[in-house]
Every structure is written in structure tokens, then in C-alpha cells.
Amino acid sequence: MAFPRIAALVGIAVALGCAGRGLWTDLGSVAEGRPTRGRLRNPAAIPTRAPGLVVPDKWRARGYRYGTDELVAAVRRAAAAVRRAHPGAVLGVADLSPPHGSAAPYHRSHQGGRDVDLLFYVVDARGRPRPPPADMVRFGGDGRPRDEGAGPLRFDDARNWALVEALLTDPSIRVQWIFVSRPLADRLLDHGRRIGRPAWIVALARAVLHQPRGSPPHDDHFHLRIYCPRSDRALGCEDAGPVWRHEKKRYKYAGPERYDPVAWRAAFVLARLP
């Protein structure tokens, strides 16, 4: 009968998809290669406007709005979570990747759909939330702008910390890095401790908030990078840089694509990262 033949063909197609790079396993996105040498198949697009987020005109015109399904969904969830906790908060989303990944102007990385630049939440001199600025604004460790003409803006400790925490605790992604300048990272960690966040969350933030070497200090935006989705690793997605202990175990053993908070606590207590 026709149905068994169709089912058999589908099974063969799925098996072939699992066999190597460039072949589909399903209808979802596929990240291939490394962030600095990769490409992106069947990408998801971040909307230009959604609950709690907006893509400002400068980045909307570039068109680098594409990423893996996991990254795009996580950014949307994080923005919505910050908005629920801080009514009126709006996250400015800058560049993800070009439609098919690969190298493009403005970025050395962002090639495989696992990177996104996020503008800082800002407040005015009285602490009132302001919309995302039209361009990136550099901030010092005192929370004040370093750019002339930036006006009375301030780095918003509460909402920026809420964004970091929402990303780190999202069960569908595993954050490798959130690139940001060291003074701003220290400011965020101090805020997390001051408001009494669990020690394991602060320790995790301490591990992934990182000022990169050999590039600008990222004092004007967050650069989020996630690990390869497990489903993409068989198709050539490659993680570059350190792989924390919890990730090594997930490479070796099968398991659900979600965080286990107890495992997170244990991994970072044992690692004792400086």
C-alpha cells in the first residue's frame, strides 16, 4: 500500500538527515560550524517588535535578524520576563546573523545563528526607564555614559540583571558567554548579591559574564552566545572555547534538552570558577 511506502521513505530521509552535514533532520533551524566560521540553515527571524522588545531602525535596516530557533525564542522569552518583572521595560535587539549565516560586515563572529547583540536597558537621571537608544551607548563602571551627547542616561542595574538571569535560567538554551566589560559585569554581580539572588545564580553569572580579549570591551552592549543545540551537533555545529563541566556531561550522556537546577548548582560549586 502507499502509506507504508511513504512511511518508509520518510524514515530513510530522517536517517539520512542524521548521517551528515547539510542534510535535514527536521524542519527546524540548523547551525553549522563555529561562530567565526559557520553558516545557518532554515533560520528563525526575530520580530522587529514583540512583547518587551524592539529592533531599532539602525539594526532593522541591516537585516541581521536571523538565528537558531532556540536563540530567537530565548531572547523573546527573556524580554517578556523582564517586562513582567519591570512593567514598561523594552529590550533593544541589535544584530543576530544574516539570513544564511556566514561572514558579513560589522562582525567577525555572528556567523552561525548562535550570537546576538542586546542593547543595555537604560534609565534617566531620576531612575525612570527610557526606551532603547537609537545607537549603542558606552557606559563606565559607575553606570554613567562615556559618550559625549548621550544625555542623562544611566545603566539600568535592575533590568539588565533581570535580563541576564532570565537568559541563564531559560531551560531551552545553554549560555556559553555573555560578553560585557568587566566593570559592568562587576556592577551586575554586585546588584545580584545586593538583592539576595541565590548564590548559584550569581556564580553562574560570574562564569559567563566575560570581557573578551582582542576585541572592544563591550561596554555598550551585551553579546550573548549560546552553545550548539544538541540536535545540531551531528550536523556540524561546533562549540569554540571552554566547555564547562555540565556541558561535558551533556556531550557524553543522553538527556533532556533542559536545565536541571540541582545539576547547575553542583557543577559550579565543584568548578569553583575564579
Structural domain includes residue 92? yes
pTM above 0.75, yes or no: yes
Q: For residues 149 and 230, what is the distance between their CA atoms, to the nearest angstrom? A: 45
For the segment 114-150, what is each residue's pLDDT rounded down to a tens digit? 999 999 999 998 999 999 999 999 999 999 999 887 7
- Phi/psi of residue 129, nearest 5 degrees: -60, 140
For the segment 147-204, what is each residue's pLDDT rounded down to a tens digit? 887 788 999 999 999 999 999 999 999 999 999 999 999 999 999 999 999 999 999 9
Q: For residues 266 and 237, what is the distance between their CA atoms, to the nearest angstrom? A: 27
pLDDT of 107 above 50: yes
Q: For residues 201 and 208, what is the distance between their CA atoms, to the nearest angstrom? A: 11
Structural domain includes residue 3? no
Residue 136, SS3 per DSSP: coil
Structural domain includes residue 78? yes
Which CATH number belongs to the domain containing residue 238 in this structure?
3.30.1380.10
Beta-strand pair 91-92/53-54? parallel
Structural domain includes residue 198? yes
For the segment 41-100, what is each residue's pLDDT rounded down to a tens digit? 999 999 999 999 999 999 999 999 999 999 999 999 999 999 999 999 999 999 999 998
Strand (E) or helix (H) holding 52: none
Structural domain includes residue 37? yes
